[in-house]
């Protein structure tokens, strides 16, 4: 259970809620440590809990009959897992697995459903997030089909940097190959090329991004498109700090709850 308003700042969706919404959710939120490669839901499994990451990064994976996999979205502090519980579903169509160990707030699916049904603010916020997430999933599908592995790797590294909030990534070539759904040898070649160009420093189990601008220039348009959509739909997700106690409820603090995706001219 949360006891301080500042505790919510670790997750951008939770930090976007006004004080009265925070008070309603806080008793149902439990801070948990997630292990790398921990399976949260398997394909077809009933969703009992949802997770709001703070420092962990969680992968949504599409599993193939031959045992192969490809990541269709990465969820970090900007979002949540278990979205189907808000759309009438009870099970995950995909595998959801922890990519980077860290912390997340866990909440029962039932509690979230009840709060979602009662709160117009929560409905608007979650509809905006779902729209952004669907954009990411659709764009990743197009990217995996039409863009070169080099461009996909640049896009993937940029997304990971944003999710982890660090230019230091503890990743292996095997992990990257599983996320991109390609052979490990291809990742080795693509990472070596970026290393030689001075964009990354690549060593065993570790990648350091040296030139973000260069990486963005080498990536396909998919990274920029998804990032712009998240920034457009959820402009308060990078708010630097929560308001001090007693300042919630001002119009500017609840701006995101006034956004109505059903009336947005660009949706």
pLDDT at 205: 87
- In whole angstroms, give the CA distance from residue 40 to residue 20: 29
Q: Are 259 and 265 in contact (CB under 8 A)?
A: no
pLDDT in tens, the chain (267 residues): 444 444 445 899 998 888 888 888 999 999 999 999 999 999 999 999 999 999 999 999 998 888 788 899 999 999 999 999 999 888 888 899 999 999 999 999 999 999 999 999 999 999 999 999 999 999 998 998 899 999 999 999 999 999 888 999 999 999 999 899 899 999 999 999 999 999 999 888 899 999 999 999 999 999 999 999 999 998 654 433 333 333 333 343 344 454 433 333 333
**Residue 25 backbone phi and psi in degrees, to 5:** -85, -35
> In 10 A of CB 59, how many CB atoms?
25
- In whole angstroms, give the CA distance from residue 209 to residue 203: 12
Helix/strand/coil percentages in the chain, nearest 5: 50, 20, 30
3-state secondary structure of 200: strand
- In whole angstroms, give the CA distance from residue 31 to residue 236: 23
pLDDT at 257: 52
Domains and CATH numbers, the chain: 5-147+220-263 (2.60.120.10)
pTM to 2 decimals? 0.82
pLDDT at 240: 32
pLDDT at 209: 95
238's CB contacts (< 8 A; 6+ apart) are 12
- In whole angstroms, give the CA distance from residue 132 to residue 155: 17
pLDDT at 137: 93
């Amino acid at each position: 259970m949360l006891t301080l308003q500042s505790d919510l700042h670790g997750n951008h969706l939770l930090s976007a809620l006004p004080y009265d919404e925070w008070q309603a959710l806080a008793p149902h939120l439990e801070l948990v440590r997630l292990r790398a490669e921990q399976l949260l839901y398997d394909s077809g499994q009933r969703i009992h809990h949802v997770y709001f990451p703070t420092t962990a990064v969680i992968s949504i994976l599409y599993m193939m009959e031959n045992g192969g996999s490809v990541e269709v979205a990465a969820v970090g502090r900007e979002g949540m897992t278990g979205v189907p519980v808000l759309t009438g579903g009870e099970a995950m169509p995909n595998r959801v697995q922890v990519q980077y160990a860290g912390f997340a707030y866990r909440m029962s699916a039932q509690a979230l459903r009840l709060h979602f049904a009662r709160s117009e603010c929560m409905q608007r916020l979650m509809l905006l997030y779902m729209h952004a997430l669907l954009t990411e999933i659709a764009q990743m599908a197009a990217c995996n089909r039409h863009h070169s592995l080099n461009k996909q790797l640049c896009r993937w590294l940029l997304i990971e940097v944003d999710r982890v909030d660090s230019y230091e990534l503890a990743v292996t070539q095997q992990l990257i190959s599983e996320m991109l759904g390609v052979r490990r040898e291809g990742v080795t070649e693509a990472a070596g090329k970026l290393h030689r160009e001075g964009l990354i420093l690549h060593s065993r189990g570790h990648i350091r991004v040296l030139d973000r601008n260069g990486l963005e220039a080498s990536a396909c348009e998919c990274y920029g498109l998804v990032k712009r959509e998240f920034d457009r739909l959820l402009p308060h997700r990078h708010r630097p700090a929560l308001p001090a106690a007693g300042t919630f409820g001002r119009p500017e603090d609840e701006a995101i709850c006034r956004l109505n995706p059903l009336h947005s001219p660009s949706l």
